[in-house]
Amino acid sequence: MTATSPSAPFSRTLDLALTAIAPAVWGSVYLVTTQFLPAEHPLTVSLLRALPAGCLLLLLVRRLPFGVWWLRVAIVGGLNFSLFWALLFVSAYRLPGGVAATVGAVQPLIVVALERLLMGTPIRRTSVLAGLAGIAGVGLLVLTPRATLDPIGIAAGLGGAAAMATGTVLSRFWQPPVPPLTFTAWQLTAGGLLLLPVTMLVDPVPPELTTGNLLGYLYLGLVGGALTYLLWFRGLSRLTPSTVAPLVLLSPVFAVALGWALLGEDLTPLQLAGFVIVLASVWLSQRN
């Protein structure tokens, strides 16, 4: 019998903690977007979040895709960034924020199903229960009695969740023979290039940018883009998709917490219950 390394649990905990930084920072994107960026330029925000960061990382790694990886990077970059972000903003514009976030919370369950389909991973009952609890917790956290439903917005939200879920599983299923930094550079650049023509056609040119606008774009590109996705893809290279995916539920938790701490937004007892349920669902999803 092979003894388990005493450092293995610590290493896994460290990997989870580093990966969880990504969705925690993504929770700040809403605040930065609303407080520092021009209104009604969602695709421009997505483009400037992906392409400059990807190009910067490419300059650092100095390595381009090769062989079949050109196609694979285009697919996962398109899913994780271009398609996901585009559908996310459609959902956000057509639905109240709470409804959009609740619809997006279905992503961990989609990952569980895709991981079974593509990688043959058994579906664990705890993963399903954690996914359902996560949806309920996010609903309590962000939904309001005035929330309305729009079929196109719901479809876009589900499509965005499915796009990132598929990109998450494929990023692990097609594990490239390169470091996570290189894979992150490839995906961000591919996603940004795919967004470029659509942005130029659809999104109006932003007005003259202020210092606050430039700082907001810089934060989204370097921190919300390059750093967080490096940590995210590093986690995917070391952990299973069904372990990593539930961590995205931390994003609305941090978004609401930042709104309360920095913008003076109220927290109701139901929202506090949502906090507890989401955190419990993330904890449950990590149980072996």
Q: What is the pLDDT of residue 89?
A: 75
Q: How far is CA 281 from CA 105, 131, 137, 238, in A?
A: 12, 7, 8, 21
Measure the CA–CA gap between 22 and 10, rounded to whole angstroms: 19
| 8 A C-beta contact, residue 252 and residue 278 | yes
Q: What is the pLDDT along the chain (288 residues), one digit of tens a residue?
A: 444 455 677 898 999 999 999 999 998 887 888 788 887 787 888 898 899 999 999 999 999 999 999 999 999 999 999 999 888 877 877 776 667 788 889 999 999 999 999 999 999 999 999 999 999 999 998 877 666 678 888 898 899 999 999 999 999 999 899 999 999 999 999 999 999 998 998 887 777 888 999 999 999 999 999 999 999 999 999 999 999 999 999 998 998 888 888 888 888 898 899 999 999 999 999 876
Report the distance separating Cα 20 and Cα 142, nearest Å.
20
In angstroms, the Cα distances linking 19 to 26, 42, 188, 234 are 12, 26, 17, 7
Does residue 193 contact residue 52 with C-beta atoms inside 8 Å? no
Q: Show the DSSP H helices in 107-179 as ranges.
A: 107-119, 125-142, 151-173
Three-state SS at 52: helix
By residue count, the chain amounts to 288
Nearest Cα residue to 80 out of 177, 176, 189: 189
Q: Is 174 helix (H, G, I), strand (E, B) or coil?
A: coil
| pLDDT at res. 2 | 44
pLDDT at site 192 = 95
- Which residue in 190, 183, 165, 188 sits closest to 241, CA to CA? 165
* Helix-then-strand count for the chain, H and E: 15, 0
At a CB cut-off of 8 Å and minimum separation 6, what does 12 contact?
A: 239
Residue position matching structure tokens 């569980």: 112
The amino acid that residue 286 corresponds to is Q
pLDDT of res. 228: 95
Q: Distance from CA of residue 90 to its chain's centroid?
A: 16
Q: Is the pTM of this model over 0.75?
A: yes
Q: Which residue has the tokens 């370097």?
A: 222
Cα distances from 70 to residues 51, 52, 83, 194, 255, in angstroms, run 17, 19, 18, 13, 35
Furthest-apart CA atoms within the chain: distance in Å:
67
Two tokens at 19?
């990966």
pLDDT value at residue 68: 96
| 135 vs 264: CA distance, rounded Å | 25
